[in-house]
Amino acid sequence: AQSVTQLDSHVSVSEGTPVLLRCNYSSSYSPSLFWYVQHPNKGLQLLLKYTSAATLVKGINGFEAEFKKSETSFHLTKPSAHMSDAAEYFCVVPGGTSYGKLTFGQGTILTVHP
Amino acid sequence: DGGITQSPKYLFRKEGQNVTLSCEQNLNHDAMYWYRQDPGQGLRLIYYSQIVNDFQKGDIAEGYSVSREKKESFPLTVTSAQKNPTAFYLCASSIGTGGRVADTQYFGPGTRLTVL
């Protein structure tokens, strides 16, 4: 079965400093992987998607993630945090058995301090 | 403007009442999904539909029902049998290619349901 573990439920950074949100996955094959962002009381927005074309994936708003098969990780990074990055972030892997099903991590709440 | 709309944004229900949440998409997507979100639990799949007039139970379908009579619409009914319906409900859609690479799902803005 496919699953994801987000290693931090909360991450706090200062504006202008790097962001690292950690995600490990478990999959019986090389999966697709997604990062979504959710601002308070809003729907989810796709940040980036890995599809095995390239291990370093660039997304919107300066975010990127690197797929490391040997470490089964797909950590999300950004060189310099902005106040508008404060939100909840979800690492997501396809469910595998059910068509189209996505399995969501528990989420990481990112707080950005001035 | 293409996208997914959900209505209402906020919904209040008395115990014992059924309520229906609306989800409409104009992306011409075949697949549609309903998720429930509770604090600290990520998103859990309630129902999904790959094509018109067909839908499947997700992980937490008990107390919910859906229909898919039109490609663009996938309403969710929260019945009185749902023991703890207060939550944030999200609708999503995807192209529905059924290929090895998972389709990207696009989400609506959500409906917050509160049972009084």
Q: What is the pLDDT of residue A32?
A: 85
Measured on CA atoms in the order B9, A102, A26, A63, is the torsion positive or negative?
Answer: negative
pLDDT digits 0-9 by tens, A83-97: 999 999 999 988 755
Poorest-pLDDT segment among A19-33, A64-78, B54-68: A19-33
CA distance to partner chain B, nearest, from residue A109 (Å): 10
- What pLDDT sits at residue B69? 97
Mean pLDDT computed over every residue of chain A: 90
pLDDT of amino acid B98: 61
**Residue B21: what pLDDT?**
97
Q: Does B2 touch chain A (CB under 8 A)?
A: no
Comparing A41-55, A94-108, B29-43, B45-59, the range with the smallest average pLDDT is A94-108
Q: Is the pLDDT of residue A101 over 90?
A: no
Which of the four pLDDT bands, split at 50, 70 and 90, describes residue A103?
confident
Q: What pLDDT, on the 0 to 100 scale, is given for residue B99? A: 59
Q: What is the 3-state secondary structure of chain A?
A: CCEEEECCCEEEEECCCCEEECEEEECCCCCCEEEEEECCCCCEEEEEEECCCCCEEECHHHCEEEEECCCCEEEEEECCCCHHHCEEEEEEEECCCCCCCEEECCCEEEEEEC
The pLDDT, as a whole number, for residue A98 is: 54
**Which of A90, A94, A106 is closest, CB to CB, to B40?**
A106
Calculate the dihedral angle through the C-alpha atoms of A22, A28, A33, A35, rounding to the nearest 10 degrees. -40
pLDDT of residue A58: 95
Q: Looking at residues B47-60, what average pLDDT do you find?
A: 92
Mean pLDDT of B42-69: 93
Q: Is B84 on the interface with A (CB under 8 A)?
A: no
**Touching A: B residues 28-47, CB under 8 Å:** 31, 33, 40-45
Chain B residues with CB-CB distance to A31 below 8 A: 102
